[in-house]
Chains A and B, each alone.
Chain A
Amino acid sequence: KQEVTQIPAALSVPEGENLVLNCSFTDSAIYNLQWFRQDPGKGLTSLLLIQSSQREQTSGRLNASLDKSSGRSTLYIAASQPGDSATYLCVTSYDKVIFGPGTSLSVIP
């Protein structure tokens, strides 16, 4: 049974810092891994999708990596901004979609 964990659970950084969010999963049999952000009381916004055959994806200030063999993914956020404050979810998919518990990020102006 797939289990997804995320470290840290919460993170507070000053504006402008680069930061890394970590995701670990127990079953390497995945189609892909997605990173989402969730704003309080709202739905999910897809940030990056990495196929199982890929190693990383980039979009603007975001970079996500995937190492299936070790069951790890990282989300790198460069030059953080207050608008980046949200909960970031790591999600694996195979026959089901499994969510990590999320990392709550707060970027302080």
Chain B
Amino acid sequence: GAVVSQHPSRVICKSGTSVKIECRSLDFQATTMFWYRQFPKQSLMLMATSNEGSKATYEQGVEKDKFLINHASLTLSTLTVTSAHPEDSSFYICSARTGKVYGYTFGSGTRLTVV
């Protein structure tokens, strides 16, 4: 089946640094990738929609200059958290639409801790 590989699974970084999270579709082409975050005991919230070859679309309240999304190829989308702060500590997960049936496959997620 369709697989989305997400790395790293866990990352701890110092406040003020930047962190890059990668999502790769392994056996299919993902023209659209979705990025979510989940704070403790809350539901997953859509942050942005990433389309290959064009600018990402951000949800209301998500800072596009802080969360940089790049979708340069049909198999790779990246999310860079710039100048990370402790409040950015969260679980980040990507997903891609797979095939004609519009099901979704998710990456395994990245636990970001900013200290």
Contact = CB atoms under 8 A, between A and B. Distances in A.
Interface of A: 31-32, 34, 36, 41-44, 46, 49, 51, 89, 91, 93, 96-102
Nearest to B4: A43
B102 to A, nearest CB: 4
Interface of B: 6, 34, 36, 42-46, 49, 91, 93, 95, 97, 101-109, 111
Nearest to B34: A97
B108 A42 contact: yes
B103 A49 contact: yes
A43 B107 contact: yes
Contacts of B104: 34, 46, 91, 93, 97
B2 to A, nearest CB: 10
Contact of B109 (A43, A51, A99): A43
Contact of B44 (A31, A32, A34, A99): A99
Nearest to A52: B102
Contact of B43 (A34, A42, A46, A100): A100
